[in-house]
């Protein structure tokens, strides 16, 4: 019986970002900016939807904690999102 040797196949293509170790810091910054954008856009349209989304995104970007150093877009998202939500509820209550 002949023994066959296994040939090694090529690895699938990976982008540069997958090769280097990702710290996750850029993802947190992106979530913070998305929250801030939701909060700002919520002033003009769909404040009842975008306000709570901004609060959620800001809180996630802050690391689900109220202590420690926070990124400015995350804090802006939480504060403006809360303001959007309150204004939208007051506007709907009229």
Cα separation, 35 vs 32, whole angstroms: 5
Q: At what angle do helices 72-93 and 47-61 cross, to 10 degrees?
A: 150
Does pTM top 0.75 for this prediction? no
Which tens digit of pLDDT belongs to each residue from 62-77? 887 767 777 889 999 9
Which tens digit of pLDDT belongs to each residue from 25-64? 668 888 999 999 999 999 999 889 999 999 999 999 988 7
Cβ atoms of 54 and 77 closer than 8 Å: yes
Domain ranges of the chain: 24-93
H-assigned helices in 1-94: 16-19, 25-42, 47-61, 72-93
């Amino acid at each position: 019986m002949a023994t066959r040797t296994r040939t090694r196949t090529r690895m699938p293509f990976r982008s540069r970002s997958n090769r280097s170790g990702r710290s996750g810091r850029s993802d947190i910054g992106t979530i913070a900016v998305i929250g801030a954008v939701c909060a700002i856009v919520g002033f003009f349209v769909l404040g009842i939807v975008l306000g709570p989304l901004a609060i959620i995104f800001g809180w996630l970007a802050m690391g689900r904690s109220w202590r420690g150093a926070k990124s400015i877009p995350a804090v802006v998202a939480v504060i403006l999102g809360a303001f959007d939500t309150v204004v939208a509820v007051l506007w709907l209550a009229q």
